[in-house]
């Protein structure tokens, strides 16, 4: 049997969970020995293989129709889906937007910010994703493994990846719930 294929992507988040993944330093060489790293935001391949991958990892919440498409494609193409970080697990920081209407949020971001001049307007290109209520990943697709933390500790991410790469479902509990 070859190495398990692993893909990752980010949705509505800050990239901090992927930065924490890189924080595992030289242990990333161990992960590369155990797993075949496919599409990620930091590799050239940008979509999980059409023939499928063993593990899919998603950082970030679902905040628009594009996030939904990315999550659904990853779910369709992976055997085990991991929600990485608080945003993916329960909505996290992006979910604070749910206290406001989408119109209010867009006006604040594109029109009312102190640094925006009078030409500011809400983008309306039809090709843009449509904002939605912010949701956790599991509200859109079934999730198999939850890794909370903002971001999760690099030690925990290493543990999760090493377990999955060896065909085991990681148990994220106890001191593995500690994060900085």
Q: Which is nearer to ligand SF4, 86 or 153 (CB)?
A: 86
User: Which residue in the set 9, 54, 86, 153 belongs to the binding site for ligand SF4 (CB under 6 A)?
Assistant: 86
Among 28, 34, 80, 93, binds ligand SF4 (CB under 6 A): 93
Q: How is residue 104 written in tokens?
A: 């209010």
Among 102, 109, 150, 162, binds ligand SF4 (CB under 6 A): 150
Identity of the residue, 16 or 48, whose beta carbon is nearer to ligand SF4 in the bound complex: 16
Interface with ligand SF4: number of residues (CB under 6 A) = 13
- Tell me the helix, strand and coil percentages in the chain, rounded to 5: 40, 20, 40
Geometric angle at alpha carbon 133, from 46 and 149, rounded to 5°: 65
Query: Is-contact 149 18, C-beta < 8 A?
Result: no
Q: Within positions 12 to 31, which residues make up the interface with ligand SF4, using CB under 6 A? A: 13-14, 16-17
Whole-number minimum distance, CB 36 to ligand SF4, in Å?
Answer: 24
Cα radius of gyration (the chain): 17
Distance, in Å, from the CA atom of 59 to the CA atom of 39, rounded to the nearest integer, reads 14
- Give the whole-angstrom CA distance, residue 136 versus residue 72: 13
Is there binding between residue 4 and ligand SF4 (CB under 6 A)? no
Residue 8 phi, psi dihedral angles, 5° rounding:
-140, 160
153 touches ligand SF4 (CB under 6 A): no
Task: By CB under 6 A, name the one of 4, 48, 56, 60 that touches ligand SF4.
Answer: 60
What tokens does 100 get?
A: 């406001």
Query: Looking at beta carbons only, is 29 or 129 nearer to ligand SF4?
Result: 129
Q: Which residue has the tokens 């079934």?
A: 142
170 is an interface residue for ligand SF4 by CB under 6 A = no
Please tell me what DSSP assigns to residue 152. P
Instruction: Give the residues lining the site for ligand SF4 (CB under 6 A).
Output: 13-14, 16-17, 59-60, 85-87, 92-93, 150-151
């Amino acid at each position: 049997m070859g190495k398990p294929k692993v893909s990752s992507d980010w949705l509505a988040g800050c990239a901090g969970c992927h930065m924490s993944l890189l924080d595992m330093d030289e242990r990333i060489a161990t992960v590369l020995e155990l797993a075949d790293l496919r599409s990620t935001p930091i590799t050239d391949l940008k979509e999980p293989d059409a023939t499928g991958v063993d593990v899919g990892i998603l950082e970030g919440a679902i905040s628009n129709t594009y996030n939904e498409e990315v999550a659904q494609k990853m779910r369709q193409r992976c055997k085990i889906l991991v929600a990485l970080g608080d945003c993916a697990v329960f909505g996290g920081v992006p979910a604070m937007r749910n206290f406001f209407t989408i119109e209010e949020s867009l006006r604040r971001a594109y029109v009312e910010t102190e640094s925006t001049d009078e030409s500011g307007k809400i983008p309306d290109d039809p090709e843009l994703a449509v904002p939605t209520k912010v949701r956790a990943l599991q509200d859109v697709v079934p999730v198999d493994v939850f890794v909370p933390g903002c971001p999760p500790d690099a030690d925990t991410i290493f543990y999760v990846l090493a377990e999955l790469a060896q065909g085991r479902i990681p148990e994220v509990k106890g001191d593995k719930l500690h994060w900085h």
